[in-house]
């Protein structure tokens, strides 16, 4: 006689056996005591299992019983988008007032970055900046109040602590700085003969330094003129910086114009529209100029780096000259270059035959050809794609569970997008605030950047993996996930290069991926909460 | 024996309250108030299922909410001709399985079928003895120690009362394999129960020696 096996018995007990075989088994069991005993034992075991599973050990927690309000899930992104809209509004009004001022002054040009950083906020919008900080603080307090009254308060604990801490930090009086601070003034003058034996920070419309600063000079405002002496470095952010006196350190500046007529012992670094190193000027170190117009007429001790639209070199350069200009580049007859001369540009530079160049100039012409036709473009794209894929793969192999959780969060599009957008805006604002405390702000900013940039880069990986899973269904293992990642990244590469909307896609992608990352990290930090 | 078969067919999904057709229809039309009603009605049952398959209470709480939110968003996919709770519990089971699976993308400890040791035919006596001696509390403790798939299969079968076909769908395996998974799960469970029995016997003896 063939005995029944355990599987068949189980299926019979579970009512999953087809009727023919069930009849067969019933007949066999009636005849065979051994199988009968097994079947009975299994039935008792099944009953025990059912009983064990049915019994309740604990009550259903209140958190589950409370119907989440309609806003429960989207709350995060409503707040986020609110913040984002507020930030966008602030930036927008900042731009508008800047434009008005610009028109009144009869000026034009400049790019968006200079416009945002050195136009709106710094020399017109201090008030709106402070308003914004106050709004942030108020919203932070509001969030804390909300979280106190929320039933599902656990989720908000972290937000409350972070925002509350931020609000508190902003509300506290500024820490004492090892610097003299002059602010809330229309114009500031350090008279001739006066000495500041400290770092000097000036926030004013105009500033004039005729005396001596024995330390760094940090300036935010419209116009700064240095006729006296600064023994440290000069940081100037504003419209115009004129250096007629002596700076024993470096001049680092951003804005519209920097003009050096005096002496700078170390380097001059400038981001902005016009850089002018006058014929009387003497720069001990190197000159780095990024902007529209660059004129180097004076003496430069070391190398000169120029990235601009138009540039003219007629001075004496102790080191190399490395220039690129979109438009015109001229080396005049009085110019003298001790090192090598290199040029990259679209138009042929005008080099006077009388100019004294230590070595024949290396000239590289950039051909104006549609980049979509060149092989290099595709090679570059392929390399970037591969780099992103390798980055994603390493990330996945290092932290697989976290990685898949982030992709899960990517599915919550609006929440992720809102949080990402908010974070980007918050970072810009915090960077501006950090500039106030420049001395600690700079290293802090560098550290933040070092963490932030990989996160921004990583955003394409998460979004890519999500796109891949959208196309081919959810991945079931490492290999299939990586395959989907590869395809998703390829799709992103194409989409972000679409004409007109490519930049928008890129922005959305960065916000989205970054938001998903933060969302997951936030959930992870919540004690005892599943990262879904 | 016969009534065991009948029961599993007739009994509704465990813990599911009676259906309120009208609320379901309204919720399906997108009424958030009706969804709230359904939530109140079904959340405890969904939670109980999640609590049995997911490792921690917090996981189960989160999953419950996520499942019901998912249901709200996916209501269009619900075929009103079929029982609502069956659909709901399938969504729930899928969600939980998804969670579990996603967490162990790499640390999957379950061996492929070919590498598993063959199962010995159990003696009726042993099964009978375990079923008689073990308390439901001990069974639950043992269940918690099972690998995710084994536990999931047992819960879906003996708590949610899903058919083999439905379990196959949720776990993403072929129908004939469901029986094998359940069989292995029960063997593993028996092993754990025997171990706990052995440990339980040792302890009082050690206490007596001192």
pLDDT in tens, A223-249: 899 999 998 888 887 788 899 999 988
Tokens found for residue A182: 């002059």
Select the residue from A58, A524, A530 to test the B interface by mutation, using most B Cβ atoms within 10 A: A530
Question: Which residues 8-67 of chain B have a CB within 8 Å of chain A?
Answer: 8-9, 14, 32, 36, 39-40, 43-44, 47-48, 51-52, 54, 56-59, 61-66
B151 at interface of A, judged by CB pairs closer than 8 A: no
The three-class DSSP label of residue A290 is strand
Percent of chain B residues past pLDDT 70, beyond the cut:
76
CA distance linking residue A155 with residue B58, whole number of Å: 12
pLDDT for res A227:
92
Q: Domain B9-103, CATH 1.10.1740.10 — does that match?
A: yes
Q: Is the pLDDT at B26 greater than 70, yes or no? A: yes
Owner of token pair 């007109």: A500
**Helix or strand (DSSP H, E) at A122:** helix A122-123
Tokens found for residue A63: 């958190």
CA distance linking residue B37 with residue B39, whole number of Å: 5
- Does residue A165 or residue B160 have the better pLDDT? B160
> For B36-40, what is the mean pLDDT?
83
**What CATH topology corresponds to B121-209?**
Arc Repressor Mutant, subunit A (1.10.10)
Cα separation values, A506 from A293, A384, A497, B142, Å: 31, 14, 9, 50
pLDDT for res B154:
92
- Does residue B73 or residue B50 have the better pLDDT? B50
Subunit contact A53:B154, Cβ cutoff 8 A: yes
The sign of the torsion formed by the CA atoms of A101, A105, A111, A116 equals negative
Give me the residues paired with residue A158 across strands: none
The three-class DSSP label of residue A268 is strand
A150: left (phi over 0), alpha (psi -120 to 50) or beta: beta
For helices B32-53 and B84-103, the axis angle rounded to 10 degrees is 50
Tokens found for residue B188: 């593993």
Cα separation values, A313 from A291, A335, A337, A356, A362, Å: 15, 6, 10, 12, 16
Residue (of A442, A465, A458, A470) closest to A511 by Cα position:
A458
Angle among Cα A327, A332, A333 to the nearest 5 degrees reads 160
CA distance linking residue B21 with residue B198, whole number of Å: 51
Q: How high is the ipTM of this complex? A: 0.80
Of B47, B69, B103, the CB nearest to A60: B47
Residues 6+ apart with CB under 8 A from A501: none
User: Quick check: A431 and A237 in contact, CB under 8 A?
Assistant: no
Q: Which residues of B touch A12 (CB under 8 A)?
A: 1, 5
Subunit contact B130:A45, Cβ cutoff 8 A: yes
Instruction: Please state the domain extents for chain B.
Output: 9-103, 121-209
Subunit contact B48:A56, Cβ cutoff 8 A: yes
The three-class DSSP label of residue B30 is coil
Please state the separation of Cα A456 from the chain's center in Å: 6
Of B61, B125, B159, the CB nearest to A54: B159
**Helix or strand (DSSP H, E) at A352:** none
What string of DSSP letters covers A6-27? Answer: HHHHHHHHTT-S-HHHHHHHHH
Q: Mean pLDDT in chain A?
A: 75
Residue (of A220, A213, A176) closest to A196 by Cα position:
A213
CA distance linking residue B64 with residue A459, whole number of Å: 29
Provide the whole-model pTM.
0.41
Neighbours of B155 (CB within 10 A): 25
Residue (of A422, A512, A508) closest to A462 by Cα position:
A512
- By C-alpha distance, the chain A residue nearest B67 is A532
Q: Model confidence over B110-128: pLDDT tens digits?
A: 555 555 666 677 777 888 8
Residues 6+ apart with CB under 8 A from A228: A190, A192, A209, A210, A211, A212, A213, A245, A246
**Helix or strand (DSSP H, E) at B107:** none
pLDDT for res B83:
82
Q: Is the pLDDT at B16 greater than 50, yes or no? A: no
Q: With a cut of 50, which residues of chain A have pLDDT below it?
A: 71-73, 94-131, 151-154, 171-177, 438-441, 527-532
The three-class DSSP label of residue A360 is coil
> For B160-178, what is the mean pLDDT?
88
pLDDT for res B86:
83
Cα separation values, A362 from A295, A321, A339, A345, A513, Å: 20, 10, 12, 11, 43
Burial bucket for residue B51 (CB in 10 Å: 0-12, 13-18, 19+): buried
Subunit contact A47:B44, Cβ cutoff 8 A: no
- By C-alpha distance, the chain B residue nearest A155 is B62
Tokens found for residue B89: 């519990």
A82 phi, psi to nearest 5 deg: -60, -50
- Does residue B93 or residue B15 have the better pLDDT? B93
Residues 6+ apart with CB under 8 A from A306: A287, A289, A294, A296, A313, A321, A322, A323, A324, A325
The three-class DSSP label of residue A144 is helix
Give me the residues paired with residue A226 across strands: A209, A243
């Amino acid at each position: 006689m063939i005995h029944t096996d355990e599987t068949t018995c189980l299926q019979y007990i579970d009512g999953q056996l087809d009727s023919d075989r069930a009849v067969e088994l019933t007949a066999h069991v009636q005849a065979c005591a051994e199988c009968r005993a097994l079947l009975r034992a299994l039935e008792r075991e099944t009953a025990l299992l059912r009983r064990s599973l049915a019994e309740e050990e604990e009550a259903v927690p209140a958190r589950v019983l409370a119907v989440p309000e309609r806003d429960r899930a989207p709350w995060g992104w409503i707040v986020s988008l609110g913040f984002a809209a507020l930030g966008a509004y602030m930036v927008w009004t900042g731009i508008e007032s800047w434009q008005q001022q610009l028109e009144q002054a009869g000026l034009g040009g400049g790019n968006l970055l200079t416009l945002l950083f050195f136009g709106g906020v710094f020399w017109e919008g201090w008030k709106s900046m402070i308003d914004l900080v106050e709004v942030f603080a108020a919203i932070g307090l509001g969030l804390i109040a909300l979280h106190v009254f929320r039933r599902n308060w656990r989720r908000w604990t972290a937000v409350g602590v972070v925002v509350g801490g931020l609000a508190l930090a902003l509300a506290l009086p500024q820490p004492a700085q090892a610097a003299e601070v002059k602010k809330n003034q229309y114009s500031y003058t350090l008279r001739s003969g006066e000495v500041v034996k400290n770092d000097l920070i000036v926030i004013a419309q105009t500033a004039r330094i005729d005396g001596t600063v024995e330390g760094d000079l940090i300036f935010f405002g419209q116009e700064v003129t240095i006729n006296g002496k600064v023994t440290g470095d000069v940081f100037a952010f504003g419209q115009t910086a004129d250096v007629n006196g002596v700076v024993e350190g470096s001049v680092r500046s951003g804005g519209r114009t920097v003009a050096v007529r005096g002496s700078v012992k170390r380097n001059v670094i400038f981001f902005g529209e016009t850089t002018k190193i006058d014929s009387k000027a003497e720069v001990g170190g190197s000159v780095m100029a990024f902007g529209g117009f660059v004129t180097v007429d004076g003496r430069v001790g070391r190398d000169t780096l120029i990235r601009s639209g138009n540039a003219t070199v007629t001075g004496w350069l102790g080191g190399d000259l490395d220039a690129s200009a979109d438009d015109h580049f001229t080396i005049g007859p009085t110019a003298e270059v001790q090192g090598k001369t290199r040029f990259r540009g679209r138009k042929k530079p005008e080099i006077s035959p009388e100019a004294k160049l230590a070595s024949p100039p290396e000239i590289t012409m950039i051909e104006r050809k549609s980049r979509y036709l060149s092989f290099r473009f595709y090679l570059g794209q392929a390399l970037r794609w591969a780099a992103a894929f390798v980055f994603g793969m390493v990330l996945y192999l290092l932290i697989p569970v976290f990685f898949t959780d982030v992709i899960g969060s990517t599915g919550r599009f609006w929440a992720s997008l809102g949080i990402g957008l908010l974070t980007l805006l918050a970072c810009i604002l915090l960077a501006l605030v950090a500039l106030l405390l420049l001395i600690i702000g700079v290293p802090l900013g560098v550290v933040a950047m070092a963490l932030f940039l990989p996160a921004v880069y990583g955003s394409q990986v998460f979004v890519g993996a999500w796109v891949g899973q959208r196309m081919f269904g959810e991945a079931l293992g490492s290999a299939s996930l990586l395959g989907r990642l590869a395809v998703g990244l390829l799709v992103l590469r194409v989409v972000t290069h679409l004409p007109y909307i490519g930049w928008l896609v890129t922005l959305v992608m960065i916000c989205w991926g970054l938001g998903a990352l933060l969302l997951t990290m936030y959930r992870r930090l919540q004690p005892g909460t599943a990262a879904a | 024996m016969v009534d065991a078969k009948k029961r599993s067919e007739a009994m509704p999904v465990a813990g599911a309250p009676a259906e309120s057709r009208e609320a379901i229809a309204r919720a399906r039309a997108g009424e958030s108030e009706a969804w709230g009603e359904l939530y109140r009605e079904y959340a405890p049952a969904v939670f109980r299922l999640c609590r049995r398959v997911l490792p921690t209470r917090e996981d189960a709480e989160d999953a419950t909410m996520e499942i019901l939110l998912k249901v709200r968003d996916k209501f269009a996919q619900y075929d009103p001709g079929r029982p609502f709770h069956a659909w709901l519990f399938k969504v729930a089971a899928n969600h939980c399985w998804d969670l579990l699976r996603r967490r162990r993308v790499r640390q999957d400890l379950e061996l492929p079928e070919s590498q598993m040791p063959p199962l010995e035919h159990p003696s009726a006596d042993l099964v009978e003895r375990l079923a008689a001696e073990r308390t439901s509390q001990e069974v639950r403790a043992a269940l918690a120690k099972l690998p995710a798939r084994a536990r999931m299969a047992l819960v879906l079968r003996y708590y949610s009362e899903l058919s083999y076909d439905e379990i196959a769908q949720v776990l993403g395996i072929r129908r004939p394999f469901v029986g094998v998974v359940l069989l292995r799960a029960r063997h593993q469970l028996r092993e754990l129960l025997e171990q706990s029995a052995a440990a339980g016997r040792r302890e009082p003896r050690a206490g007596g020696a001192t």
